[in-house]
Structure 1
């Protein structure tokens, strides 16, 4: 059997202490007097320290360490901005037309007031507002009984005058025969001839009276002077109208006119017959072709604008008077010109510029601009761009110079 461990405190032989007495502590002096060394107790902290060192050793040596190359390899991230193909324009030479913007209000090329030529009571109105009529159609009838009676009276008077004229002519012939034989005096011959002239004049006068009566009777029938549409009706059956009273307004809508004001300095190159492209408010999606019909040689009073009249064909009568139109007068064309969408042009303190795509990066490209082109969506570039250059065509405010970009592949 192994001996039981002793519970007594272990003592050690005294070790020599060469310190002088004045430098020794009270404890050292007491132990020196007793002839023993101080007891040393074994604390549990030593055991804890040993276990900790063992644990650190286990943790510091992993079961399998990954290769150093894999742990340190950089991860590539694509930071380029993706652009839709519609936001990119490839510059190409093209033939461009300069245009002069204009606007105005349409009116029928022919619109007249139809007035009564005679006084009387309206018997019948044959048309309504908006009716389409042809030349010679009856629009209104005025009572004509009295005028018909007057015409018959004048016709009867004409018959009487014709008979008197024949009698005077016969008497003049007899007087000449008698005068030739010496039977009748010369004075009688002169009287017969004078009477013949009077009767001839009366006959002509009566013929004129009959014609006037026929005209008065005809004027009771108000007829359309040309093909058109009734734009206003101002008379009703039973209404008494005076001579000269306006009865209708008739408009010919087969073509329309628009008077447009153009700066007098820009009216110099304009010529009759030049083409004008127009859009009409209220008819979206439709374009109309017009042509210059007249140009005022002087500016309007109180302004520096010249009036330019534009005619627009309107075969289907879809255009109406009073519609607002805007458009462009086609000016000279520019062949092989460089133009870009107006939205792609940017402005800042440095002047006009575009964002050009070069080697996958946005580059600020200064440009010099020219005149606005037809349609107003394009603007000419005098310098700064060449054919095949690619630029950002939309107003993408978040794009800046120096950004990396990539164009989305179609599909």
Structure 2
């Protein structure tokens, strides 16, 4: 009985051991294949089509960006020359005025009185000078006839010159009084439109106080600045293209004037351009951004500017070359920040630029495109 039990145990253990052995072998095989599959997957990087950019070959016109504003070529700020009270004001904001048109009259009775007094003094001095001249001429005839001495004649001549100088001095006083009296009548120095009025009837104004501001809206210009390191782009007659804030239309113009020096604080050079198209007067003072357009063209490869790494030192881009990731060194020929484009050289014909920034550990890894 014991022998039969032992034999039965032996027969039962043998199939169990075989099954266990098979399971161990299978697990061993799986454990050997898994690292290979994982390693193969780690050597591939999955991208989508939006991550890749085809390199374009073409010509690009060199442009230099600038910012500025629109201003009137002819404008004037009118100040009071005397302290007085405004009696009448004849101009309103938005009104068109002509050169010489009276804008305001100031009550300056004191100046009018001074003018009258100085004019009377001038008339008296001129009369005395005329009398002294007649006396000198009479004594000249008496001297020639031998009735008086030369000393007496020279005395009359000296008296005439003294009266003549006194008349000239009185004329200078009249001119001063006339100028002071004219300062009470303020006229427009240019033809234009009133943009600011700071005086009302009955108001007392001080000498030097601004009363009106006038601009000629028929002649506008672009006032802008560029960094001093872009001074080579500034040339008389050079074409510019720009946009006015709030206006989607692209406008053009030509450079007319250039500042001979750079601003010591901002290190920028100011220039002025004349628009080739009519600009609405409401654009005066508006912000402008644009480009100075060079007459020369640059030929190269055009890619997005934000795909370039280390643009200021050793520029390079990540590209897919022969279906593998590669770091390609490039040379930047031109940068357009407002358009986010760059003209470069150094890429091969079939290179595809990646928007994704990789690391050196990713170099030579294979790229697969996601179906999603």
Q: The TM-score by the shorter chain falls in which range? A: 0.5 to 0.7
Residue 265 (1) aligns with residue 229 (2): yes
Q: CA deviation at 1:197?
A: 1.0
Tell me, which stretches of 5 or more residues in structure 1 are unaligned?
1-82, 406-411
Pairs within 5 Å for 1:195-274:
195-253=159-217, 254-262=219-227, 264-268=228-232, 270-274=234-238
Which of residues 301, 317, 320 is equivalent to 2:284? 320
2:181 aligns to what SS in structure 1? helix
Pairs within 5 Å for 1:246-395:
246-253=210-217, 254-262=219-227, 264-268=228-232, 270-289=234-253, 291=255, 293-295=257-259, 297-298=261-262, 300-301=264-265, 305-313=267-275, 316-321=280-285, 323-331=286-294, 333-334=296-297, 337-340=299-302, 342=304, 352=317, 368=330, 370=332, 371-372=334-335, 376=339, 378-384=341-347
Supply the distance in 1 between the matched residues of 2:193 and 2:339 (Cα, whole angstroms).
Answer: 37
Supply the distance in 2 between the matched residues of 1:306 and 1:146 (Cα, whole angstroms).
Answer: 51
The answer to whether the Cα contact below 8 Å between 2:132 and 2:159 also exists between their aligned partners in 1 is yes
* Change in 2 beyond 3 A, CA 1:134/1:355: farther
* Change in 2 beyond 3 A, CA 1:128/1:329: same
1:222 aligns to what SS in structure 2? strand
Pairs within 5 Å for 1:118-133:
118-133=82-97
Tell me, which stretches of 5 or more residues in structure 2 are unaligned?
1-48, 310-314, 357-365
RMSD (CA atoms): 4.1
Q: CA deviation at 1:286?
A: 3.9
2:283 aligns to what SS in structure 1? coil
1:334 aligns to what SS in structure 2? strand
* Change in 2 beyond 3 A, CA 1:364/1:230: farther
Divergent runs of 4+, >6 A? 87-90, 362-367, 389-395
The answer to whether the Cα contact below 8 Å between 1:354 and 1:365 also exists between their aligned partners in 2 is yes
Residue 177 (1) aligns with residue 141 (2): yes
TM-score, structure 1 as length reference = 0.60
Between structure 1 and structure 2, the one with the greater Rg is 1
Where is the helix percentage greater, Structure 1 or Structure 2? 2
Supply the distance in 1 between the matched residues of 2:151 and 2:308 (Cα, whole angstroms).
Answer: 109
Supply the distance in 2 between the matched residues of 1:390 and 1:318 (Cα, whole angstroms).
Answer: 49
Q: Which residue of 1 aligns with 2:35?
A: none
2:225 aligns to what SS in structure 1? strand
Supply the distance in 1 between the matched residues of 2:233 and 2:62 (Cα, whole angstroms).
Answer: 12
TM-score, structure 2 as length reference = 0.65
Q: CA deviation at 1:214?
A: 2.4
Supply the distance in 2 between the matched residues of 1:146 and 1:195 (Cα, whole angstroms).
Answer: 34
The answer to whether the Cα contact below 8 Å between 1:116 and 1:244 also exists between their aligned partners in 2 is yes
2:65 aligns to what SS in structure 1? strand
Supply the distance in 1 between the matched residues of 2:55 and 2:198 (Cα, whole angstroms).
Answer: 63
2:124 aligns to what SS in structure 1? helix
Supply the distance in 2 between the matched residues of 1:297 and 1:243 (Cα, whole angstroms).
Answer: 35
Paired positions, count: 303
